[in-house]
Structure 1
Amino acid sequence: MAPPYKNTPALQDLIDDALAQTAPGRCVWVALSGGMDSSLLLSLAADACRRVPRPLFALHVHHGLQSANDDFERHCRWLCSRLGVPLIVEHVCVDNGRGEGVEAAARRARYDAFAQHIGCGETLWLAQHQNDQAETFLLAALRGSGVAGLASMPRRRTFFGITIERPLLGVALTQLEEEAHKQRLVWVNDPTNSELQFDRNYVRHRVLNALEARWPHAQAALARSAGLVGEAAGLLDELADHDLMQLGGQPQQLTVSELLQLSEPRRRLLIRRCLTHLGLALPPARRLATLDAQLQGRTDGQAHVSWPGGEARLWRGKLFLMAPPLALAGDWQVEWCGQKVLPTPLGNLRRGLVADSGQAVSLQVCARRGGEVLHLAERGRRGLKRLLQEHGLSPWQRKQLLVVWHDNAVVAVGLVDGEWLLVAQGWYQPSSVSGR
């Protein structure tokens, strides 16, 4: 069997091509772990940016998970000093409280660091290669992933305005090792790479080695399959985006009756695509099946499906997709002057509230407790519950309401974002508020 990645271009050509795709004057960043592949990528990038001047930075994420992390940081500092590349070191805390596993939690911490330091419109280069792609494909297949998972790592994508590129994705590890030795490059080996309790290490050392003993080009073939699945995934994304536009173009809110006109696989595809547009985690297959069953049943405010990082609710014939909504604690309360930005557990309240008299007042802001009444101009006294029903506020939004009191009377009600929903007679919202 001929190798799928025959006649791979020279490594420096790949880097030059990637650099040519970046906008002139924009910064290029290299995620530098200190291992062989990222050290080589930085060396190649530094050479390219000397020949075609571009601002180049390296970013090292110190996970603090093992003593060897300090060795990696020292090596990164030495290498960047030798290459003349500015280095940013970010120490992170890997939080595995979500039960996602250490590897996934560390990856999330890295991407949080990327978003913190790399500006919108800038480019980040990652050093994953063909062997990494083959491992990712196999792991996705063993998890029973669909097309999106089997597509593995894209060569190029955007992440919160950052362009993430993998210039070496089509290059075999052996070719990278040859080039690293040719350059007499120095790097640090991660001692955990040999620990087989990690799924990726087991696939790398036990599974892929066995496959290549029988099929010498197994890793290249698997990586090529991942690339072909990636093309199919791109076409499915186009189909889902077309359906989204037909249903109104709002990924956070879909009309159930229109959604049910699609076939079941097409509904699932559209819901996953909407979640991706919203930057939310995708649900496991069973949770998505539960959601689809509820689409064909209840449509009241109590019907909902949740999973780590996301939630779907059915209410008044609409499907709402969102992050798990926060709610104010029933005993939360704070004093406020009405004319400054007010920090709350749900975010900063940036609109004010002033008495018609113009006098300075002391207000109390708290969560909704039930039974509140407002005195509205031209309507008199009205119960808050009935007023909220008139405004069409969803059940989960009602748990996020800020209720403002003055002298034992409710004078305003609203959410953190937007205008006040209700303002009592004798009060108004000013055009602006000052800082804290």
Structure 2
Amino acid sequence: MTKSLLSSEWIARLGGFTKLIVGFSGGLDSTVLLHLLASHSSLCPKLIAVHINHGISSNAEYWQKHCEQFCLNSGIDFISHAVEFDRSANIEEGARIARYTVFSSLLTTQDCLILAHHRDDQAETVLLQLFRGAGVDGLAAMSDLSTWGVGTLARPLLSYSREQLEHYAASHQLKWIEDESNQEISYSRNYLRHQIMPLLLKKWPGVVGNIARTALHCQQAKANLDELAIHDDQELLTATNSLFIEPLKKLSIERITNVLRVWLKKNQVQLPSTLTFQRLIHEVLFASSDAAPVVSWNEIQVRRYQQYLYLDKKKVISLPHCIEWTEFPLPLVLTEYNFSLMAKKVNQGLIVPQNAKVEIKFRRGGEQFYWHGQTKQLKKLFQEWGVPPWLRDTIPLIYINDQFAAVVGYAVSDLFFTHNSSDSWLLLTNS
């Protein structure tokens, strides 16, 4: 039975990754998962077990030592991380965010995070989402394989029940820890698991599998809706990631909602409440063309400017007035400001004289820019280019030997532009 829980398809999938990072709490589920993966010679050398010490229980240090010893005995690389988080609010959510933050920091594009969620977990997730009034995205619950952060997230046990994992553990004489907090019914998932699910199972013995199957149906529906939104995006999405309003307004409300849903998710934005979504459509999308409406939630704003919808992830970062690019053309990265600039060789573009002083500044007002044979106020040019007002102060301005040379992403001054030179540059930024 050792290898029956992991199909040949799963072994082949996981074998293609450089590192297999396994979330290892030491409980039944993750113990079975880690033992199962380690039983395959092609996977074992890739395994890294990661234990998150939340520091909540008085037994936390014992659990960490148990996990470390299990990995030592099994020849598996082991990492432990102690995490801090706000325990005055939702402890479940705070612990989950802290846990996933650590996992994310360990992943590269060639790696896979593997978690031990099983079918009972899936059924609980569907019900919790249902109780919150979730839509298709929420009811789709957890997928067995998905892109996550820069890497991949896999849940190879999702089609198996907790009972099957218990049988596996018993047949291999595995030892695991029991987290006493799993019995605390003040937590929503535990209440559902211990108080509600037994009643449902008594009346409908197959209910767990049926609910989990609903998640699969919703995943298919979600995939279909995503595909439709991608089709709609071909006419709606601009190069600057804004949405063209007029053709969007011609769609049905249902398709508008779908386009906005996928647009937000592609930008890694948590979807707003149903009420906020309705405000977004009626107060922003269908506002008069000369209005400047804003709908906000969390750290997100959706704004309208001219004929476009913009997504603004509110950044409370105060950019310095002047940054010297001392090692041009090497990339300039300012981690503390979440800002970077790169220079790419092109056949026509910005000319930077050898040993020139290159500086990056940001608009303060009153700048004059020489472009297309005229000197114009930068403010007027931003208006001509359709740059939203709230973005103008974040656009890098390039100064070469104290002369205003370029507006990154928009224009190069006539004084520093060449049509044909192998020494010209295109500047790219993440801002």
**TM-score w.r.t. length of structure 2:** 0.82
Query: Residue in 2 aligned with 1:70?
Result: 61
Work out whether 1:401 is the aligned partner of 2:407: no
Q: Superposition RMSD on alpha carbons, in Å?
A: 3.5
Structure 2: gaps (5+ residues): 345-349
Deviation sequence 1:1-40 (CA, Å, 0-9, x none): xxxxxxxxx5732313311333546433322121110011
SS across alignment from 2:41: helix
In the alignment, what sits opposite 1:3?
none
How many Å apart are 1:83 and its aligned residue? 1.0
1:166 paired with 2:155, answer: yes
Residues 32-431 of structure 1 correspond to what in structure 2 (within 5 A)? 32-47=24-39, 49-50=40-41, 55-94=46-85, 101-247=90-236, 252-293=241-282, 294-300=284-290, 302-322=292-312, 324-326=313-315, 329=318, 332-334=320-322, 336=324, 339-340=327-328, 341=332, 343=334, 345-350=337-342, 366-374=361-369, 378-380=373-375, 382-403=376-397, 411-412=404-405, 414=407, 418=409, 421=411, 423=413, 425=415, 431=425
Q: Is the 8 A contact 1:121 1:162 kept in 2?
A: yes
Do the aligned residues in 1 keep the contact of 2:18 with 2:46 (CA within 8 Å)?
yes
- Distance in 1 (alpha carbons) for counterparts of 2:392 and 2:259: 28
* Alpha-carbon distance between aligned partners in 2 of 1:236 and 1:376, rounded to the nearest angstrom: 45
User: Residue 6 of structure 1 corresponds to which residue in structure 2?
Assistant: none
Displacement of 1:272 after TM fit?
0.8
Aligned pair count reads: 413
The one-letter code sitting in structure 1 at the alignment partner of 2:137 is A
Q: Answer whether contact 1:31 1:125 (CA < 8 A) is retained.
A: yes
1:37–1:127 contact (8 Å) kept in structure 2:
yes
Q: Which runs of 5+ in 1 are unaligned?
A: 1-9
Q: Which residue identity lines up with residue 81 of structure 2 in the other structure? A: E
User: Aligned in 2, Cα 1:358/1:124: closer, same or farther, shift over 3 Å?
Assistant: closer
Q: Distance in 2 between matches of 1:178 and 1:277?
A: 40
**CA separation of 1:298/1:110 partners in 2, compared to 1, >3 Å: closer, same or farther?**
farther
| Letter of the structure 2 residue corresponding to residue 394 of structure 1 | P
SS of the residue 1:114 aligns to: helix
1:11–1:285 CA distance, 2 compared to 1 (3 A)? farther
Seen in structure 2, the aligned counterparts of structure 1 residues 172 and 11 have a Cα distance that, compared at 3 Å, is farther
Would you say the 8 A contact 1:281–1:309 is kept in 2? no
Partners of 1:262 and 1:207 in 2: CA distance: 42
- Aligned residue for 2:7, secondary structure, equals helix
Shift of 1:402: 3.9
For 2:386 and 2:227, locate their aligned partners in 1 and report how far apart those are by CA, in whole Å.
33
Question: How many angstroms apart in 1 are the aligned matches of 2:114 and 2:317?
Answer: 41
CA offset at residue 320 of structure 1? 2.3
* Identity between Structure 1 and Structure 2 (%): 30
**Shift of the alpha carbon at 1:246?**
4.6
1:22 aligns with 2:17: no
Q: 3-state SS of the aligned residue for 1:15?
A: coil
One-letter code aligned to 1:152? A
Counterpart of 1:184 in structure 2: which amino acid? Q
What is the deviation of 1:310?
3.5
8 Å Cα contact 1:283/1:310 also seen in 2? no
TM-score between the two structures when normalised by the length of structure 1: 0.82
Q: Relative to structure 1, is the Cα distance of residues 42 and 288 closer, same or farther in structure 2, using a 3 angstrom cutoff?
A: same
Q: In structure 2, do the counterparts of structure 1 residues 185 and 342 end up closer, same or farther at CA, with 3 Å as the change threshold?
A: closer
1:154 match: secondary structure: coil
